[in-house]
Chains A and B, each alone.
Chain A
Amino acid sequence: MRPTLPRLVNILVPVKRSIDYAVKIRVASDGKGVDTNVKHSMNPFDEIAVEEAIRLREKKSVAVDSITAISIGPAKAVDTIRTALAMGADAGIHVVTPENAIVEPIAVASALKKVIEDKKIDLVIMGKQAIDDDSGSTGGILAGKLGWSQGSFASKLELKEGGQVDITREIDGGLEQISSKLPVIVTTDLRLNEPRYASLPNIMKAKKKKIETIKPEDLGLDLTPRLETISVSEPPKRQGGGKVESVDELVSKMKEAGVI
């Protein structure tokens, strides 16, 4: 824990380049993964995280000193960082991993921990999960590693004077309100906000913003996977239906099928 309360808040937003939400996922020919030669975009939950960080700054209830977007991924992840910068983040950090390397949540959390300590981050806002692997564990692992509080599945976030953070969480059957002190990890749920569009002036400005590149070795990272993917398969195909000519035929077919 940091000994003194920060007067200016530094926010870190981890963003992941994942397969675009609208793309139809296909199993790769080796049956051990999915076809990744498709459109990629920022993980939608991370987009919400970027938006929330910018809104906190705009609300001015507490002065936000910096918003840094970080991505741990292959060369193309830089596009995802640029999107965050175009939305309004100030600077980017790209931890470049080899193409096609599988980076597990524990490795991501380790990398983030190093950067957080180095950059004196007070608040981490991140997606509750990535829509590609659906692990949903990076936020939790990171909070554990740092020994910070965490507010997961946030649908409302308020930053108050004195470093107080009020979080509304979406839980089964209702909402839960929790309060904590900075530093905090917040993971975002869908209802937190609706992300803005990247405007042209901001896209242009984003081109001039700095993206720092870091090698995994420099963070002392071990990317060796701990898990082995045995197989990936598609859900069973839906059987096509048939047309019936009359109600009588429908009834007899239903009887045949034993549903009535």
Chain B
Amino acid sequence: MASPRNIARLATRLASRRTPVPSTSTLRAPIKAKTTMFVRNGSTLPPRSTRFAEATETHLNALKSISSSTLSTLDSTASADELKTYNDDWMNKYHGKSQIVVKPKTTEEVSQIMKYCYENDLAVVPQGGNTGLVGGSNPVHDEIILNLSNLNQIRSFDEVSGVLVADGGVILETADHYLAEKGFIFPLDLGAKGSCHIGGNVSTNAGGLRLLRYGSLHGTVLGLEVVLPDGTIWNGLSGLRKDNTGFDLKQLFIGSEGTIGIITAISILCPRRPSAMNVAVFSLDSYEAVQKVFAEAKGHLGEILSAFEFFDKQSYALVKKHQEENGGERKVFETEGDFYCLIETGGSNAEHDEAKLTGLLEHLMENEMVLDGVLAQDSTQFQSLWSLRELVPESAGKAGSVYKYDVSVPVGKMYGLVEKMRAKLREGGILEGDGQKDGPIRAVAGYGHMGDGNLHINIVANKYTDEVEKIIEPYIYEIVAENEGSISAEHGLGVMKAPYIGYSKNDTSIDLMKKVKTLFDPKGLLNPYKYIV
């Protein structure tokens, strides 16, 4: 007989929960007209620098004597195919040509490896779970890959303060399961949680679904242990919440994408796990209405508001089509709208939360601020309602070739960007509909994390072409800059967006960043060709 598990078959196929890092910059970025190079498909990459030595068998033997877990094609301990896992990214977009992968088991080993590489001018790319989207964790050329997956021990957990100290190579989900057993939660959650490392999360300042509630890693990370490019171990693993003694050095490493040091351990403040969670989804008639509901939700729900997401009707149409094709469609709304938003609550008292949520719902209905809405009645519905939002990227992917942009902009201006993009494509005569029956662009979908000011624009085309790309870029970066936004909200710069940093940061910022890089890594050996170029 069928089990109730089947009910949730669609709900469990959740697409990735990727959430953003809020824009940390309020600087007005000057618009830079020049586009230095185009690196989307890894086709145009910076040339290999002659400053770096080429790895030899002598180097390999030295590294092997430090860490027994070393794989290389130089002495046939691994085939080129085996190294592909480390050389290529998961989207198969970036392809490194490294011949050596070192997988140290201790911080001491990491330190000795870096010391050796520093003395011998060997470039190194630190690698965690290799789940990035911008090619930040793969070698561009032949950099030695320093993979941290063997550095995977939980060091300590204090049940009173909620401070977890763990190695950088611990998988996010493993850490969260460990905490769940104790009634705590890791203050970060994202789609790649089954593979990504917490050290990598901190290095890239991953945003995650829980950002609205628990804030960014800049706030939750209390301390770090970092191996510097010359092998020095910096122990900054403080468990202190207040520490006003000098520069807050750890902040420099959070989001530095492995360019100034390798995070070998983190100390992070973990909140209690909410015991009661609920979710509601609304249909609305305008983006203004979404903003009003956001303001009301914050007012009514206060501390229990844990996520506020929005998606437009184009996104919802993609999801519905995808669900229909998979036989999992289910009527959600009596009245559909041009916009949709999802509210999640998480608290410690189900009755208290429900009273608050009901208060909000009544208010929204009475004042006709929403067209329609649904409230999950059980955990299965909780997941299937979330999937309406989470299936958007997957559904867009099924509909065609997707140009994905991930930007931060002030909440009020967020949707204007999507409309501008649509107008631009319409102007170019390539948007389907509007008399253009067979335009190469099928849909422009806008969705994202309202709570964090993070917008995703997915442009679904029938195939990737240069003409289409030229219409989209650099226009999209220009409108982001005009709206005081950031061209990278959650994905980071890596190799993909490094050339475009000028759209979000002014010359003084970039100059300071370069100085920081040189201060920590004078030889430029760590994660070269990326981040700031």
Give the B-binding residues of A (Cβ under 8 A).
20-23, 39, 41-42, 44-45, 47, 83, 86, 131, 153, 170, 189-191, 194, 196-201, 203-204
- Chain A residue nearest to B329 (CB atoms) is A194
Q: Indicate the member of A20, A22, A23, A42 with the most B CB atoms within 10 Å.
A: A22
Residues of A within 8 A of B362 (CB): 204
Taking a contact as CB atoms under 8 Å apart, the answer to whether B379 and A23 are in contact is yes
Judge whether A201 and B372 touch: CB under 8 Å: yes
Chain B contacts of A45 at CB under 8 A? 4
Given A199-B334, A200-B365, is A39 in contact with B276 using a C-beta cutoff of 8 Å? Answer: yes
Chain B residues with CB under 8 Å of chain A are: 1-4, 6-8, 276, 280, 282, 330-334, 350, 358, 361-362, 364-365, 370, 372-383, 385
B2 near A191: Cβ-Cβ < 8 Å: yes
B385 touches A41 (CB 8 A): no
Question: What are the residues of chain B within 8 A of A83 when measuring CB–CB?
Answer: 377
Q: How far is the CA of A194 from the CA of B10 in the complex (A)?
A: 12
Report yes or no: B380 in contact with A199, Cβ–Cβ below 8 A.
no
B169 to A: closest C-beta gap in Å: 15
Residues of B within 8 A of A201 (CB): 334, 365, 372
Q: Check A200 against B379 for contact (C-beta < 8 Å).
A: no
Chain A residues with CB under 8 A of B333:
199
Say yes or no: A198 contacts B2, CB within 8 Å.
no
A88 to chain B, nearest CB (A): 12
A–B complex contacts, Cβ < 8 Å, 7 sampled:
A47-B378, A83-B377, A194-B7, A197-B374, A197-B381, A199-B373, A200-B372
Q: Do A21 and B385 touch (CB < 8 A)?
A: no
Closest chain B residue to A171 by CB distance?
B1
Which of B1, B282, B375 touches A153 (beta carbons < 8 Å)? B1
A180 to chain B, nearest CB (A): 22
Q: Tell me which residues across on chain A come within 8 A of B376, comparing CB atoms.
A: 197
What is the minimal beta-carbon distance from A99 to any residue of chain B, in angstroms? 15
- How near does chain A come to B145, taking the closest CB pair, in angstroms? 20
Closest-CB distance, A78 to chain B (whole angstroms): 12
Pick the residue among B2, B331, B372, B378 that contacts A21 (CB under 8 A): B378
B372 A199 Cβ-Cβ under 8 A: yes
What residues of chain B lie closer than 8 Å to A153, measured between beta carbons? 1
Residues of chain B contacted by A44 (CB below 8 angstroms): 4, 7, 378, 380
Residues of B within 8 A of A197 (CB): 330, 332, 374-377, 381, 385
Q: How far is the CA of A96 from the CA of B372 in the complex (A)?
A: 34
Complex: chain B residue closest to A39, CB-CB? B379
A203–B377 CA distance with the chains assembled, in angstroms: 11
Determine the distance from Cα of A102 to Cα of B8 in the docked complex, in whole angstroms: 29
Contact A86 B370 (CB under 8 A): no
Whole-angstrom distance between the Cβ of A54 and the nearest chain B Cβ: 12
Give the shortest distance, in Å, between A26 (CB) and chain B (any CB). 12
